[in-house]
Structure 1
Amino acid sequence: MTDPADLRPVTAEEWPAFSRAMLEVFGDDPIGDFTERVPPTAELDRSLSLWAGDGRVAATGGIYSRQVTVPGAVVPCAGVTWVTVSPTHRRRGVLTAMMRRQLTELHEQQGEPLAALWASEGSIYGRFGYAPATQRGNLRGSTRDMAFRPGVDLGTGTVAPADPEAWRAGAARVHEALRRWVPGTFERDGRWWERALRDPAERRGGAGARRYVLHTEADGEVTGFAAFRVRTRWTDDGLADGTVLVEDVRARSTPGYAALWRYLLDLDLVRTVEAGYAPADDPLRHLLADPRALQARPLDGLWLRLVDVGRALAARRYPAPIDMVLEVRDRFCPWNDGRWWLRGHPAGAFCAPTDGDPDLVVDVEALAAAYLGGVSLGTLQAAGRVTEVSPGAVTQAATAFSWPVSPFCPDQF
């Protein structure tokens, strides 16, 4: 079995070999100069690599230092990324060693209380305490059927195309205004906006280049933005049958949001809309005269891990008061395994170890799923992931862990 001590950070000189090995496992070709120079977002001191005896890179991993919104607060979060293991080193405990090394170092160094990742396969990360905490809606509909309800207010602002730099400036202001209210949303500094605007032709999947639009009020203030691309198609009869692939739509007002969507749904030569990463309960459905015109096939989005249960539970806010003892089962991180006294309310929270009798028993994956408010503890109880000890504890805890805004993560990493 692999010893976590066998893993080490990669150097800048080793980046080409490291990145090529990573892309090979993912089945991707090199894109641009990604394999030739270290990307601005990379933090090599937080990377991990395993080298085979012949000098090949057998495993890769890394962490981005991020800030994520949780209910009522913004919390440091370790964005786990680049995780691969070569087929030559499978079933040797390499991935387990990597996960253990990352989580142990975060705990011992009092680093981020949360870790998050995007899972390439749904069966991998649960055994390390991660759980899906947001959903992507995988929305689809026929634009012909997506008329708005009578009386939908489109406001007095305008929606117009923008060049990438103008779009970035306006979108950054809107994102910053909105991100603190939506759990699961990450901050974006200049490096992450630069990454968000990258649009290599190899990654377009047969669609056109990304297009950008801004919603602007009469006074010139940008209050919304959208990014999309169009996949052009013609039927054998010569009829337009294109698809608009919506990547992001956000606005600071309901009229602005409605106006952006009306623009996207009214594009010429388009018959279908797809929004793979929109929230599963996107407000768009409630703008439509026929709610059935929009179909959703929800998929998991961001996966979350409570690195330190006490610090994580104390960091978020609770819309309803909670005062109870949680017995947390955590096989992978023994420092979390035990009983925790949680007191929380809308203004703050306290959480510390205790020897008191538990009100609830919950595994750490279920706690991670419920942490952002997107999964009810009542649902998890029905699945056998939560055990109620004190009568009514599930109802109280499910109410306290809820949040009026569904969690959403538009940033893959």
Structure 2
Amino acid sequence: MTDPADLRPITTEEWPAFSRAMLEVFGDEPIGSFTETPPSVAELDRSLGLFADDGRVAATAGIYSRQLTVPGAVVPCAGITWVTVSPTHRRRGVLTAVMRRQLTELHEQGREPVAGLWASEGGIYGRFGYAPATARGNLHGRTRQMAFRPDVDLGTGTVTPADADAYRAGAARVHEALRRWVPGTMERDERWWERLLRDPAEHRGRASARRFLLHTEVDGEVTGHAAFRVRSRWTDDGEPDGTVVVEEVRARSTPAYAALWRYLLDIDLVRTVESAYAPAEDPLRHLLADPRALHARPLDGLWLRLVNVGRALAARRYPAPIDMVIEVRDRFCPWNDGRWWLRGHPAGAFCAPTDGDPDLVVDVDALAAAYLGGVSLGTLQAAGRVTEVSPGAVTQAATAFSWPVSPFCPDQF
């Protein structure tokens, strides 16, 4: 039962069995009404289920319709999610069938030129053409060592605690203002804000309920927001040794950003700060008098897949001119496999199939890694993932594919 024809979208009535099968593979317990009714962000017409002979759900998958910021533009992105295969159906080609069905349909529908996912395991998705395109910093440090440089400007605005409703209203405006400038960022409509702000006790990990901050200027404009938790701890000597678990800090100005972090680092009874999903190149380090006080253990974030190489490369912008032929090797999606003529500059781009001689040869997953500007094609060449045919082509392409803002995706799905 590995034929893609056996995979099909599920119905609302089938959601309870589908969701329970998915949670069982992930090792999660049902929370709230999740296994009773589909969440508001679910798109069951874009789901895939594989049903065993006894009626059990043997495999699950889904797609969210998202909007992804890429260098200089915003493109539709298929958010791949819910991907599981029951142990009873492993090593039968089921996952390959799921991936092929999704990508083939995306190509045929022509809706999204790229697909993205968060990988539960790092060794799974590379063989299907996905690659990490953003990184999360996994930051931590001791708060008493994280004094700011004396020249850091905290501005004239105010940082105040907020309830969930006020936070949602203010943070949504900040997010919308920022998301078009940072590659890897996705839109958040009301459904996604609702999902983001859910706070079941089972997910708190011995920490407090989520707390919220807003940064407001003297004219009342909200220019920054932060969400965090506090995990209390006391040493054997009775000394406080708590941790502030920072989930998100975004701001429209440097003073607002600095003021929010200063508040977080000055919380009483806290000695450690953690921020697993902060950008890998978070500006916080450059606010500190001692940059070594902030430690990072970078991990992969959003994985990307170019569904349609021509449309994807033409959609983004290039800070330096590029005019070359790129030979893309894509064994999983044959419509991408071949040579593509790319012309791009800061105002736009063109990309189409060609029979011209290649300047570069690159695997499709390596091209996906470089797509948002966070991984250099020069680095990929050093790893043997890019072959230079025309002298100087890697330098030219690496410069053109770069972007002044590091990619960052704060939204898991």
Q: TM-score range by the shorter chain?
A: over 0.9
- How does the TM-score come out when normalised to structure 1? 1.00
Secondary structure class of the residue paired with 1:370: helix
Corresponding position of 1:370: 370
Corresponding position of 2:254: 254
**Deviation digits for residues 164-198 of structure 1 (CA, Å, limit 9, x no counterpart):** 00000000000000000000000000000000100
**Deviation digits for residues 379-408 of structure 1 (CA, Å, limit 9, x no counterpart):** 000000000000000000000000000000
**Deviation digits for residues 231-289 of structure 1 (CA, Å, limit 9, x no counterpart):** 00001111000000000000000000000000000000000000000011100000000
Secondary structure class of the residue paired with 2:12: coil
Partner Cα distance (2:66, 2:46) in 1? 12
2:382 aligned partner, one-letter code:
A
2:403 aligned partner, one-letter code:
W
| 1:257-296 aligned within 5 A | 257-296=257-296
| 1:146-165 aligned within 5 A | 146-165=146-165
Corresponding position of 1:71: 71
Secondary structure class of the residue paired with 1:14: helix
Partner Cα distance (1:4, 1:68) in 2? 28
Partner Cα distance (1:50, 1:342) in 2? 40
Corresponding position of 2:99: 99
Partner Cα distance (1:323, 1:380) in 2? 20
2:314 is equivalent to residue 314 of structure 1: yes
Partner Cα distance (1:146, 1:409) in 2? 25
**Deviation digits for residues 316-345 of structure 1 (CA, Å, limit 9, x no counterpart):** 000000000000000100000000000000
Partner Cα distance (2:326, 2:403) in 1? 20
- Post-superposition offset of 1:111: 1.9
Secondary structure class of the residue paired with 1:41: coil
- Post-superposition offset of 1:144: 0.3
1:222 aligned partner, one-letter code:
V
| 1:130-279 aligned within 5 A | 130-279=130-279
- Post-superposition offset of 1:116: 0.2
**Deviation digits for residues 339-360 of structure 1 (CA, Å, limit 9, x no counterpart):** 0000000000000000000000
Corresponding position of 2:59: 59
- How does the TM-score come out when normalised to structure 2? 1.00
- Post-superposition offset of 1:21: 0.4
Q: Which moved more, 1:1-10 or 1:201-210?
A: 1-10
The total of aligned residue pairs comes to 413
2:305 is equivalent to residue 300 of structure 1: no
Structure 1 unaligned runs (5+)? none
Corresponding position of 2:47: 47
Secondary structure class of the residue paired with 2:212: strand
1:16 aligned partner, one-letter code:
P
Partner Cα distance (1:216, 1:125) in 2? 42
Secondary structure class of the residue paired with 1:165: helix
Secondary structure class of the residue paired with 1:391: coil
- Post-superposition offset of 1:151: 1.2
Secondary structure class of the residue paired with 2:277: coil
2:362 is equivalent to residue 390 of structure 1: no
1:13 aligned partner, one-letter code:
E
Runs of 4+ aligned structure 1 residues displaced above 6 Å come to: none
Corresponding position of 2:4: 4
**Deviation digits for residues 208-251 of structure 1 (CA, Å, limit 9, x no counterpart):** 10000000000000000000001000011110000000000000
Secondary structure class of the residue paired with 1:180: helix
Partner Cα distance (1:209, 1:262) in 2? 21
Partner Cα distance (1:5, 1:340) in 2? 32
Partner Cα distance (1:363, 1:316) in 2? 19
- Post-superposition offset of 1:109: 1.3
Secondary structure class of the residue paired with 2:408: coil
Secondary structure class of the residue paired with 1:397: helix
Partner Cα distance (1:308, 1:202) in 2? 40
2:125 is equivalent to residue 125 of structure 1: yes
Partner Cα distance (1:109, 1:146) in 2? 51
| 1:347-358 aligned within 5 A | 347-358=347-358
Corresponding position of 1:82: 82
2:114 aligned partner, one-letter code:
L
Partner Cα distance (2:251, 2:83) in 1? 34
**Deviation digits for residues 63-101 of structure 1 (CA, Å, limit 9, x no counterpart):** 000000000000000000000000000000000000000
1:283 aligned partner, one-letter code:
P
Secondary structure class of the residue paired with 1:34: coil
2:159 aligned partner, one-letter code:
V
1:231 aligned partner, one-letter code:
R
**RMSD, aligned CA:** 0.5
Structure 2 unaligned runs (5+)? none
- Post-superposition offset of 1:2: 1.0
Partner Cα distance (2:38, 2:26) in 1? 18
2:30 is equivalent to residue 30 of structure 1: yes
Partner Cα distance (1:390, 1:262) in 2? 50
Partner Cα distance (2:134, 2:151) in 1? 32
2:179 aligned partner, one-letter code:
R
1:188 aligned partner, one-letter code:
R
- Post-superposition offset of 1:115: 0.2
